[in-house]
Amino acid sequence: MVVRVAILDDYQQVALTTADWSSIADQIQVDVFTDTLSDEDSLAKRLEPYEIICAMRERTKFLPLLLDRLPNLRLIATTGRVNRSIDVNYARKKGIYVSGTGNGGNSTVEHIWTLIMSVARHIVLEHINIRTSNPQWQTVVPMGLAGSTLGLIGVGRLGSETAKIAKVFGMKVIGWSPHLTPERAEAQGVEFIASKQELLSRSDIVSLHLVLSESTTKIINAADLDLMKASSFLINTSRGPLIDEAALVEALKNKKIAGAGLDVFEQEPLPLDHPLRFLDNVTLSPHNGYINETSYKVFWTSTVENIKGYLDGKPRSLLE
């Protein structure tokens, strides 16, 4: 009997081309969806026939209300080692396996620095000026990174890797998080800052590296943005809800900060009429910091292996 498989949110249509599916091709019928449905009724109706669903990270949420409406589902094959949009414990209780993959490469760190360099040197603005035949050849003065201060909110794996590169540019690196200790900061070569407020007021560039939780939601609010230098930039490649997005829009509109580089948003995909799309002091990317050619190959090759394990009666790479 052929097993029905749904591949969700494959925006770039790469799932079937970056891995070899031939080992299981005669056992499955695959449907690829390139859009994200946020309406639960529409999503449940779409997914109801499938025994296996392949999820790309956290683009679609699998919470109890949805899982209860998918009677045929037996395997969620997600990419990455962690997916906080899947209630793994509830899925397990319903007899649904949840498998994960490795990550592959260091894509997010690369993207963090892509955004930092883009905002500091106003690459997007100057690109638009050239492409639109602005007669003014140079319009802005780039920020010099050497001697400036990078403030890390969160000094875990990504934060510490970001710090290493900052040192190459001759930047001063300071760090704060709700649980950061002076000892951990010192081990990463980062100056420990005792308060979020001090870090924000001292930094020329602030970069967020926190896990989203109830305690970190909107950890950057309007009052925090008021503390930042008018010449400073805010970078977020972690999760959109870490920042009060409405407050950020107002800060950018009123030039309370110089700009922002954002890869993540409260709602994704970002609505077509969202005000962030129309500001000239923000650089936006579509939450692709964690992906590149290398990571896609790891994601989808491992996904094929996980599906094969399930079909052979030997589920593998199960998430806890």
Tokens for 63? 């919470």
Determine contact, residues 184/190, Cβ cutoff 8 Å: no
Instruction: Tell me whether strands 205-208 and 3-7 are parallel, antiparallel or unpaired.
Output: unpaired
Q: How many CA atoms lie within 13 A of 259 on its CB side?
A: 22
Is 239 designated active site? yes
Q: Give the DSSP per-residue string, 261-297.
A: EES--SSSSPPTT-GGGG-TTEEE--S-TT--HHHHH
Round to whole Å and give the CA distance between 301 and 285: 25
Strand, coil or helix: 160: helix
Of 239, 245, 266, 305, which is the active-site residue? 239
Is 59 designated active site? no
Is 287 designated active site? yes
Of 92, 268, 274, 316, which is the active-site residue? 268
Edge to edge, the sheet with strand 3-7 lists 28-32, 3-7, 52-55, 75-78, 97-99
Of 111, 122, 202, 287, which is the active-site residue? 287
CA-nearest of 89, 101, 49 to 72 is 49
Tokens for 212? 């989203």
Active centre residues (catalytic): 239, 268, 287
